[in-house]
A and B are shown apart, each in its own frame.
Chain A
Amino acid sequence: MSPAFGRGVMTNHIVDLKNTDVALIMGSNAAENHPITMKWLGEAKRVRGAKIIHVDPRYTRTSVISDLYAPMRSGTDIAFLGGMINYIIQNNLYHKEYVLAYTNASYLIADGYDFKDGLFSGYDAAKRTYDNKTWDYQYEADGTTVLKDPTLTNPRCAFQLMAKHFSRYDIDSVCKITGTPKNKYLEVLKLYTSTGAPNKCGTIMYAMGITQHTVGSQNVKSFANVQLLLGNMGRPGGGVNALRGENNVQGATDMALLFHIIPGYIDSPMNNAANKDLVSYLKAVTPGAAKLPAANMDEFRAAVAAGIPNSGYKVNTSKWVVSLLKSWWGDACTKNNDFAFHYMPKRDAAKNYSHIAMFEAMYKKEIDGLFVMGSNPVVGGPNANKEQTAMCNLKWLVSVDLWLNETAEFWTYEGWERPEKNGKVEQRNPKNIDTEVFFLPACAVYEKEGTAAQTGRWVQYRWKGAEPVGESKSDLWIVDELAKGIKKLYANSTLPQDEPLKNMTWGYGHGEEPEPIAVGLELSGFTVADKKPIASGFGSLKDDGSTACGNWVYCGQMATKPDGSLLYKPMNRDNKDNSKTGLGLYSNWGWAWPVNRRIVYNRCSVQPDGVTAWPGDDARVLIKWDATKVSDPLKPEVVGSWVGDDVCDCVKTAPPDKAVPFLMRPEGTGCFFAAKASFKEGPFPEHYEPWESPQKNLMNKQEFNPAIKVWEPEKQGKVEEYPFVGTTYRVVEHWQTGALTRNLPWLAELMPNMFVEISEELGRLRKIENGDNVIVSTTRGDIEAVACVTKRIKPYIVDGKEVHMVGALWQYGFKGYATGDPANRLTPHVGDANTMIPEYKAWLCDIRRA
């Protein structure tokens, strides 16, 4: 989403679903995995007469509450959505004023850009990568001003190139690939594209069914293009809404629990010349700054103050980075030592540190130790047989969990005791595994305090409801003790390489238990001189070392009360809707990043003039331009301000013609054409089959995503041996790897056994009856499960042939009350080209009676 809009977040929020006219749920089983969304969609149905569409390989609990269900073969989302983009353009269903004003549709694209035979210009087949220099705009002679065609007729404008690119996605071609019945596909197209009318808003809800593919990022980009065309972004009841897989995934990514970023979604520095000092690094991560002549921070600061063309709001990156360094190294971070930039760990530019890569490295004995907190890779990791084998190579493993889960006791793996049932797993004997396992019992969520950032970016404080059981401790306590212990070990070191640890600021409270509010203050940011929180938000951060902020997107969550004590806004609990038109913003309940903005890109909720609502849609205006208002009483000379129930997502005092709607993008607009390094595999989404597919690619000459890294080419299953599509998913009764829920008897009894779902047709083909025990196999492993033979799955008619699917729950393991084989013993070590998210959702398998 970031290449399209500027931020990779759920754009709206859960309550806002009630404002929609049509909800397209695709790649998500929201009723099972996000039950509370059903409450608000129900409200939309009841009050607005909204319609719900569910597109999914299976008829699920979500399909039941939908008005329209359309099946689709797993891994063909781009074909499905490409057809929708084509349908919108061919039938003139796009929201014209919106597209012209708020997107890069009119931008002219560089002459070198081309697309042929499934490949964009610049492909290097040997390296499986693209040189993206032609994926750019045309500029005027100054080299910075982009050429545009407001008539959208120039064949080199982004709109016309998009129209041409997707013209191949006609309805018949699409249905041949996806296996969707044509009449159902047409119904979906008609119903969803009706939201292109200016007075309608459609929302798209998606989850791991979209992202866990080799084309996951481009799947999301397809959504973005649809929503920009229909004018559904930045408006209540619209948006591209990523439903997060866990309650704090948003918080985890905000805090950079990913290998390639530092807190606040800034690329992490690498060990190359481009990152040799702070200025070089800032030039690399600030859009448009690469070629600035600045040689030191003073010159860089001056350049930022003067404005960098095509930079967007990220022109301020230096302020976020320096404030972050200041929060990490305090007094040891000064102007004279490059703000301690040399303390920052640098990653190897040639290496990948994602989940798959990490376990591949472990398998090759390149990693000695592993910390596992709130994770259970023996059940949840792809290619779980290999990952479990890899763990045998560790010298030590620390597992932090509520129970001794499959990962903590990986060495007791029963797969090694019954090789006849799991022949493809490498044999290990527990006697010969030298890994030393440390288990730290952790508190449950109700036994500790702190915040979680939910899917809609709301940061909410949670108070302790019960005392911890036994010796279990909160994560914060465990990390705090660990850091204090490490610092103690290095306290007397005189080695320069130990300085980052020695000088790291660390102090969250005074007692035995660290205080979450102290962490909250560091994240929110403070002025170094007086340690007072920066309540006004990240606009006040500086790059001269006078401010410290642990995560700029969280800046402003802490303020000072009149009595001088701290006001931690995630603790706010005012359940009154502050929206005058009943939009359910609840701005004083918790706190949403950025700066408590509930719906991002909300500049788009009014027409370009900034004052007129979209025709017939007065109730869904979030902000308006007030030409007479003075927003800051200290600056009475600045007249004119954005006002409204939500916090404006543009510069507050910028008049409508200057207030760009997507300010985090260098273009300032939503992007159909994702320029330059946005994606590894091209500026437009293109359909490629999954790495393992029963079907040749009917859309172009490339079989699978040409930009993905193939880790184990020999493990690619072939359709002759493994004829069926396999996919994995969850049920509402169990949570993630089941480490929690399979140990709770009341939940274990609801879904006590591992099962796989197949159609009645596949059941007949393989002589499997409902309730039979079956074996599912791939090149990676075999699992045993109970068969659920159901009418809810049907074979897909793909290019005239029947294609069957086996759906497997991935939440089982060999510990707890409810047990079963992990489905991830079947899934491949292959991932998205950009994010490396594993392809859990589409692979080839076979099934037989046990």
Chain B
Amino acid sequence: MARLMTNLYDVSKCTACRGCLVACKDSNQLPAVMEPFKGNYATHEDTNGNTYTLIRFIEHEDPVDGVRWNFLKYQCMHCLDAECMKVCPKKAYRKTEWGATIHDEDKCIGCQYCTYACPFGIPKYRTRTDTVTKCTLCYERVEEGLKPACVRTCPSGALTFGYRDELLQQAEARVKFLRANGFPRATIYGKLELGSGTNKIYVLTDTPDKFNLPVDPKVSANTWVWQDWIKPYAGWLIPVALGASAVSFVTNRLINKGDDHAKGGHE
């Protein structure tokens, strides 16, 4: 296996300017998704078929630290042992040699199994193409020797791209520095999560729960729910509840998708 290459995201340097969101849309030529402002700077409820990455804005308050406003860029974590790959009936997912999890839209039948299996709830169904989409780690750019679009645009240096082993060393040094400078609970996320870790490394200034990240995504993979995000998405839980229906839903898709393509697709 080639040396793994990954993104390091250091929340202590992130100012939530959201340049990465725009760079992502530009690079992937994704349309804007207008959702009304509802009281949180994040505006979008969650990633969607046309939005691969978002910044989460989370307010905390406690008597010791006072108010803290935590930012978290989130997108596909490119898990080294990826659940989406395992559940996909059409093998639309593959891993590049350097660790990116790539989803092939041509193979995708839109069954959305992966969207339920993902411990981070990242892949999303996109109606206009009848496929699932997600962050690609800009593998085409990377394989041309460029950095991912989000990394290239980051003005504050919160995002860096490089070899995973080197970035892990940097991350450990940074966590040590942060712990000595006002963030005693600073930690690395993505090093060992899900057993083998993810191909996105986070430096967090506090425990993962303070960023609405699953503290142990492996254990809670099937049961863990994003409290803040579950309600508006009750709709997509229905197929889960109706397990048998879901199977037939998928089976039907498997049978019908070929016909659709023969007819010239959906669009």
Contacts and interface: CB of A to CB of B under 8 A. Distances in A.
Given A750-B18, A770-B39, 13 more contacts: A35-B155, A38-B13, A38-B15, A39-B156, A61-B15, A61-B16, A731-B41, A732-B16, A750-B43, A752-B43, A786-B38, A787-B39, A788-B40
B53 to A, nearest CB: 12
Interface of A: 31-32, 35-36, 38-39, 42, 46, 49, 59, 61-65, 67, 69, 731-733, 745-753, 755, 770-771, 786-792, 794, 817
Contacts of A64: 15-16, 68-69, 71
Contact of B32 (A733, A748, A786): A748
A747 B22 contact: yes
A746 B156 CA distance: 20
B35 interface: yes
A570 to B, nearest CB: 22
Given A35-B15, A67-B182, A749 B43 contact: yes
A63 B31 contact: no
A46 B203 CA distance: 15
Which 4 A-B residue pairs are closest in the complex by CB-CB distance? Answer: A745-B32, A770-B39, A771-B39, A31-B15
A63 B69 contact: yes
Interface string B189-209: 000000000000000000000
Nearest to A820: B37
A455 to B, nearest CB: 15
Given A63-B69, A732-B18, A753 B39 contact: no
Where chain A touches its partner, the secondary structure class is: mixed
B258 interface: no
A745 B21 CA distance: 12
B17 A31 contact: yes
A64 B182 CA distance: 12
Contacts of A787: 39
A147 to B, nearest CB: 50
24 contacts: A35-B15, A35-B17, A35-B156, A39-B156, A39-B157, A49-B181, A61-B15, A62-B15, A69-B66, A732-B16, A732-B18, A733-B18, A745-B32, A746-B25, A746-B26, A747-B22, A749-B44, A752-B35, A753-B37, A755-B39, A786-B36, A788-B40, A789-B39, A817-B32
A48 to B, nearest CB: 12
B234 interface: no
A817 B15 CA distance: 25
Given A31-B17, A791-B61, A749 B35 contact: yes
B34 interface: yes
A32 B17 contact: yes
Contacts of B156: 31, 35, 38-39, 42
Interface in B242-257: none
A792 B69 contact: yes
B15 A32 contact: yes
Interface in B112-155: 155
Contacts of B61: 791
Nearest to A818: B34
B241 interface: no
Contacts of A67: 181-182
Given A749-B43, A791-B67, A792-B69, A732 B17 contact: yes
B262 interface: no
Interface centre among A67, A746, A755, A790 (most CB of B within 10 A): A746
A794 B61 CA distance: 12
B1 interface: no
Interface string B84-106: 00000000000000000000000
B34 A749 contact: yes
A30 to B, nearest CB: 9
A770 B59 CA distance: 13
B64 interface: no
Contact of A749 (B33, B39, B59, B157): B33
B35 A792 contact: no
Nearest to A184: B66
Contact of A753 (B31, B36, B181): B36
B43 A751 contact: yes
B15 A65 contact: yes
Contacts of A49: 181
Nearest to A733: B18
Contacts of A32: 15, 17
Contacts of B16: 31, 61, 64, 732
A733 B22 CA distance: 10
A747 B156 CA distance: 19
A788 B39 contact: yes
A752 B36 contact: yes
Nearest to A745: B32
B38 to A, nearest CB: 4
B155 A792 contact: no
Contact of A59 (B22, B36, B69): B69
A792 B59 contact: yes
B37 A36 contact: no
A218 to B, nearest CB: 30
B182 to A, nearest CB: 6
Contacts of B43: 749-752
A789 B38 CA distance: 10
B48 to A, nearest CB: 11
Contacts of B38: 770-771, 786
